[in-house]
Structures are given as C-alpha cells and as structure tokens.
A and B are shown apart, each in its own frame.
Chain A
Amino acid sequence: MAEKVIDFEVPIKVLADEYPDFVQIMYDLGFTKIKIPGMINSVGKFINLKKGSRAMGIPLEKIANEFSQRGYTIKNYEQNK
C-alpha cells in the first residue's frame, strides 16, 4: 500500500480528494465547517492545514498527532511556525 502523506502546505481539497477518511478526521478535530456543502470546493482550494489551524484556532500539534496516530506520514510541519 502506498504511503499516506499529510502535507501541511497542500490545499485541503487535494487531501480530501485523495484520502476518504480525511474529512471525518478533520471534523472530529474541530473543523466542523468542513462538511458544509461547497466549503471544500471553494475555501478548500485556498487553504492548507497551516492556515486552517490558525483560522480555526486548532493547534498544529493536535492535528499532526491525530493524523500520525491514524497512520499518516506528516510533511512540511514545523511546530515553531
């Protein structure tokens, strides 16, 4: 199986298209607006996890931990932004 990679600098839409469980994980992390129809197809193209973390006030570390635990490799993530 190919390696699953969460790149913190890639648009969220790309990740959502690639990984079927991405949206639910994000929702559970507190990105509750992600499931509203039309959000991923608009905002999702302009926002990556680094921006999303700041916009929603959800720490990068929390996001990275959750995806690591789910078997993802974390890329372009530095804690000291």
Chain B
Amino acid sequence: MFDDSFSSVDVSEITSAERELIANGLNPMEIQNLCNVHAAVFKGSITDNQTTPAFQKPGHPVSTMKLENLVITSLINDELLPCLKKWQQDGKNEKYLQRMRSALKDLLKIDKHYTRKENLIFPLMDKYGITAPPKVMWGVDDEIRGWIKDANKMVNSKPLPDKYEIERSIEKATKEVLEMIFKEEEIMIPMLDEVATPEDWYAIAKEEPELGYTLISQPLPWKPTAEEIAEGKKKQPSSVAQELNQMAMNLAKTQDLKPKSESKPKKKMSVHERIAQRSKTEPTSLEFPSLDSINVKFDSGTLNLAELTALFKVLPVDLTLVDATDHVKWFSNSPDRVFPRTKAVIGRAVVNCHPPKSVDKVKKILADFHAGTSQKNEFWINLHGKIFVYIRYYALHDEDGNYLGCLEVTQNVTHIRGLKGEKKLLNG
C-alpha cells in the first residue's frame, strides 16, 4: 500500500516538475536528466525505506538542496555554457543567444535556494555555535546574485556588449555558482550532519514551502521516522557538537550578552519622576479569573489571550521584536506579511539575520538605541516597483527607562499613499 501511494505520487510529481520547468524556459533536454534524478531518489524510498539515509529521502531539506543543485549544475554545464561556446564561435546565431537569455533567467531563480539556506539552514548553524561560516557564505551568496544579474543584464542590453565581456561575465557567475554548490554539499552539509538532529531538519522542512524552490516543484512532505529520531538521540551530543557549543558559550561570555542597559541605564528617571509616573499609570499585571484562563491587565483595560492573539493577526503592520541582547524574540505572524519571517529566526542574533551589506546599518541603529542617543529610525523602499514599504524602528523602554529592545514595524503603505479626498462614516 505504501509503495502504491508513493509510486503514484512519484509520477505526478515528475510530470508537474517537467511542466513547470518547460514553462519556466528550461531546455527540455535537461528534463531527462532531472527525471533520472527523481527516479533515483524515489527508487530509494520505495524499495528500501528503512535503510535509505534520511538525507536522501524526498523532502528532507538536504535532499531538496542537492536536487536543486543538480538541476542548477545541469542548467550551467549542459545548457548555458555550451550555448555560450557555440554562440562565441558563430556570433550571428540568435538562437544560441536566445537560449543563453532563457538559461540566465532560470539561473536568477537561485535566489530561492539561497533564501531558504539563509533563513532556515543558517539559523540552525547558529544554534550550534557555527556562526562565522554562515556570515561569510551569505556575503558570497549576495555577490553571486549580483554576478548573475550582471550577466543577465548584459545579454539583454542593446546594443549587445562585446562578446568577450559577455563571456567573462557568464563564466564568472557560473564558476561562483558551481563553487558555492561544492561548499554547500562538501562543507556545510557535513558540518550540519555532525550537529543537527532529525527534529532540527523536520522544523526546517516544515517552513521550506513558504519560501519556495529553485527550478523544482514542491517536494513531498518529509518527516523523520521514529528510528531516525532515536538514532539522532544516540549520536548526540557528538564531540564536535560539544566543542562548537563550548565555543558558542565562550563567545557569548566575551560578548557579554547581559542586557547592556542593565549595567548603565541611560534614560533612568529620578525617584521623584518614577513615583509621579506610577501614580498616573498602573503597572501591567496578570489576572487569573478561572483556573484555565489568564488575562493581561493593562493600565487601560484587560485583554485575554485569545484577544491578544487575534489582535496581532489583524494589526495592519508587521511587528518584530528584538530583545535587549539584540536577539530576535518574537514576530507577529499575520498572514500577509510584507517580508515573510520563519520561526527559525527566533533566538537568533539580529546581526546574523541580515545580509552582510546591511549589517553595519542595523548595528548602528541598535547601538544608538542602546546608548539612548536615538529612539526611532525609519526607512521606506519601493519593492519591485510595486509595493511601497514603510519600515520603522523604535527603542522600547520599561517604566523605569531601562532598554527592553527594538521593535520593527513594517507596513505596506501603497494603499494609504493613494488615498484621496474623504470617506466618512456619516456620509452613508
């Protein structure tokens, strides 16, 4: 029965992948290659489910990553580079140029592959104290994105740049993409294999569909078997994991992760001011009206947990809270966030959640908040030329003026900016 259901999914999975690839402009010749991959992957899980290593099972994040890498490698070695060579030899042949254009357009989709890695895999490395490699790798990912964009722009510009410039640009981009694949598979994955548990991979697998895939359709859902979970418990903690954890702890010690404001509160109010403040507002507290319910009593009213949860869902802004140690603590998970967040981000150092090129700006804002020299900051961007996004940062303080963290408020203000005239309740 297991085999039957799997083999039928197998077929539909492959055909839908084929359709998508063709629709996306991939040379049908490559499909054959992909089918072989699929077939190999599925063969393992159908005939010998118990002994197939988890990494090779469809839907396991490592298997998904490797499948994408295979398609990307094939796109480069079997389509893009051969077409480049043939076009080089006969510069007038539009057909090869056209195929290079569509291959580069496909290659741009590597963004999803990197985004999943940066938002799901890197947090896992962080968790086990592997912090330097993901930072370095994120920087290279961003460079590669840039090189592919450059090459793509070149083949689409008019007049066409010099042949050799195009060649250099494509060769640079593809060489770096292939090197990154090697780093992912030969360095990153073995490192993670030392430390990550089946539960870790499961947590990642559940969040992957939301971020999307590169040139493959959504893989089957994967879940670790009871045996794998048991096996994972046996192997933990490996000596390397222990060492890495030790490193992380030492690092935490040297970085002094205590809330910085505890040691030197900048905005502390005088006792007099505090008493005056207290007499005006009542501190927030909890109420337990019955055994199974809790209310949060604010100075201005009381909310129960259901109300609080519902409130954050409909607030027309996306909130993310970074605590006083600059680690992500919470985000409001409204269904249509401007920037999707995954649960893997919770507990991460905020400097590790940004591409290296924007890290300095983030650090500066937080440093100013800690120092009390600034209380808010704002940015606005035009996303894909369609969505106007307004992003604000606020320093949070408790009633005594101690720094609590930073609140990010992101809002799609496209609609608001377009409002004209008036619409009144009274007008009916």
Contact = CB atoms under 8 A, between A and B. Distances in A.
Interface of A: 33, 36-39, 41-43, 45-47, 51, 54-57
A46 B186 CA distance: 9
27 contacts: A33-B136, A36-B132, A36-B135, A37-B132, A38-B131, A38-B132, A38-B133, A38-B247, A39-B132, A42-B130, A42-B132, A42-B133, A42-B244, A43-B132, A43-B187, A45-B240, A46-B187, A46-B190, A46-B191, A47-B186, A47-B187, A51-B186, A51-B187, A55-B182, A55-B183, A55-B186, A56-B179
Contacts of A54: 179, 182, 186
A36 B131 CA distance: 11
Nearest to B184: A55
A49 to B, nearest CB: 13
B175 interface: yes
Nearest to A33: B136
A65 B187 CA distance: 25
Contacts of A45: 240
A54 B179 CA distance: 7
Interface of A is mostly: helix
B249 to A, nearest CB: 13
Secondary structure of the B side of the interface? helix
Give the interface size class of chain B: 10 to 19
Nearest to A45: B240
Nearest to A51: B186
Interface of B: 129-133, 135-136, 175, 179, 182-183, 186-187, 190-191, 240, 244, 247, 251
A39 B247 contact: no
A38 B136 CA distance: 11
Given A51-B186, A51-B187, A57 B133 contact: no
B182 A39 contact: no
Contacts of A55: 179, 182-183, 186-187
Contacts of B190: 46
Contacts of B251: 38
A43 to B, nearest CB: 5
The 9 closest A-B pairs by CB, nearest first: A38-B132, A42-B130, A55-B183, A39-B132, A43-B133, A33-B136, A46-B191, A46-B190, A54-B182
A28 to B, nearest CB: 18
A5 B251 CA distance: 32
Most buried by B among A37, A46, A55, A56: A46
A62 to B, nearest CB: 16
A37 B255 CA distance: 14
Given A55-B179, A55-B187, A41 B133 contact: no
B136 A57 contact: no
A48 to B, nearest CB: 10
A37 B136 CA distance: 11
Contacts of B132: 36-39, 42-43
Contacts of B183: 55
B174 to A, nearest CB: 12
A80 B240 CA distance: 32
Contacts of A51: 182, 186-187
Contact of B136 (A36, A41, A46, A47): A36
Contacts of A41: 247
B416 to A, nearest CB: 43
B28 to A, nearest CB: 31
